[in-house]
């Protein structure tokens, strides 16, 4: 089995901790063949992109790691681009300056630059929050540049964590079908984010039912990522994620180089 962890954060993310060299050594120890380093470039309505992430230092460190680990570990230069629609001009500046291997398009902040994890779900209609979230993903898909959409069920992590409630995703099947149609038409894909397997929700984002729906809609491009922020999380759930892909009918995972997808048999 070819193992690729395509969602890892380093010390350069605002919520990251680890040195790139340590990440690479742990990936090798865990039997990972390929990683994508995808630090947060969250776009805010009132901040320049440079204030979010020290891109120059990060990408210089990645280039050094590529040389150091050449022939032992494949390292892809990536980013997790959060809600670019919050400030299209700043998002565009970032995209024009840096050449990357891989971009995860994510939504963390639905509106007013507030991350979903800060929501008080006791005061909110959880179904309505998730409906809005899917609308934001749809806008990202149609109007912005990315390779895969990240953690499609991100709000569900915090709804369960805070309220021990599970949203019925069957209520959103039509929205998912429309979203996947747009993703596929653009030649893009989705990720299976396995971090939820280590959290109270105990499921991937998205779960198996939505992975199967993506396959049914004709989806082919799909990555697996641990969303690791700490060294102990790297690669731990990648095999489980790939087994879910097999269960959903996928025979291949997707990897990227210079933003071009290729496929490795599971």
Domains of the chain by start residue, with CATH: 4-265 (3.20.20.140)
Rounded to a whole number of angstroms, the CA Rg of the chain reads: 17
> What is the rounded CA–CA span in Å between residue 197 and residue 170?
21
Specify whether the CB–CB gap between 231 and 22 falls below 8 A.
Answer: yes
**Partners of 262 in the β-ladder:** 255
Note the Cα 67 to chain centre separation in Å.
25
What is the signed CA dihedral for 57, 61, 62, 66, rounded to 10 degrees? Answer: 150
pLDDT score recorded for residue 223: 98
* Residue 79 and residue 38 in contact, taking contact as beta carbons nearer than 8 Å: yes
Reported as a single tens digit per residue, the pLDDT across 28-77 is 999 999 999 999 999 999 999 999 999 999 999 999 999 999 999 999 99
- Using alpha carbons, list the distances in angstroms from residue 151 to 9, 144, 195, 228: 14, 17, 9, 13
Mean pLDDT per 10-residue interval, the chain, length 266 residues: 97 97 98 98 97 97 98 98 98 97 98 97 97 98 98 97 95 98 98 96 97 98 98 96 98 98 97
Q: How many CB atoms lie within 10 A of CB 22?
A: 14
Residue 127, pLDDT score: 98
Query: How many other β-carbons are positioned within 10 Å of the β-carbon of residue 175?
Result: 17
Angle subtended at Cα 50 by Cα 87 and Cα 17, rounded to the nearest 5 degrees: 110
The pLDDT of residue 163: 93
Q: Alpha-carbon distance 178 to 92, whole Å?
A: 26
CA 177 – CA 137 distance, rounded (Å): 13
pTM of the model: 0.98
Q: What pLDDT is stored for residue 203 in this prediction? A: 97
Contacts of 17 (CB under 8 A, 6+ apart): 11, 229, 230, 231
Contact 150, 109 (CB under 8 A): no
Instruction: Tell me how long the chain is.
Output: 266
Q: Are strands 4-8 and 40-42 parallel, antiparallel or unpaired?
A: unpaired
Handedness of CA 42, 172, 208, 246 (dihedral sign): negative
d(CA 129, CA 1): 38
């Amino acid at each position: 089995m070819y193992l690729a962890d395509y969602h890892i954060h380093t010390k350069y993310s605002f919520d990251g901790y680890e040195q790139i060299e340590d990440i690479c050594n742990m990936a090798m120890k865990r039997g990972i063949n390929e990683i994508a380093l995808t630090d947060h470039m969250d776009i805010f309505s009132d901040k320049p992109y440079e204030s979010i992430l020290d891109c120059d230092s990060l990408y210089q460190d990645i280039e050094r790691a590529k040389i150091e680990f050449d022939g032992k570990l494949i390292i892809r230069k990536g980013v997790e681009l959060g809600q670019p629609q919050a400030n299209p001009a700043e998002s565009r500046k970032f995209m024009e300056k840096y050449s990357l291997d891989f971009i995860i398009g994510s939504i963390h902040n639905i509106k007013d630059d507030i991350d979903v994890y800060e929501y008080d779900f006791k005061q909110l209609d959880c179904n309505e929050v998730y409906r809005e979230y899917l609308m934001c993903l749809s806008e990202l898909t149609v109007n912005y540049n990315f390779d895969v959409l990240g953690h499609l069920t991100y709000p569900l992590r915090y709804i369960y964590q805070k309220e021990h409630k599970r949203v019925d995703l069957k209520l959103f099947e039509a929205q998912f079908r429309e979203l996947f149609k747009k993703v596929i038409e653009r030649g893009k894909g989705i990720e299976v984010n396995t971090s939820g397997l280590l959290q109270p929700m105990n499921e991937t984002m998205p779960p198996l039912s939505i992975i199967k729906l993506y396959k049914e809609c004709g989806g082919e491009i799909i990555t697996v990522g641990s969303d690791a922020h700490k060294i102990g999380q790297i690669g731990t759930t990648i095999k489980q994620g790939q087994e879910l892909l097999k269960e959903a009918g996928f025979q291949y995972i997707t990897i990227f180089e210079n933003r071009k997808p290729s496929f490795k048999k599971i």
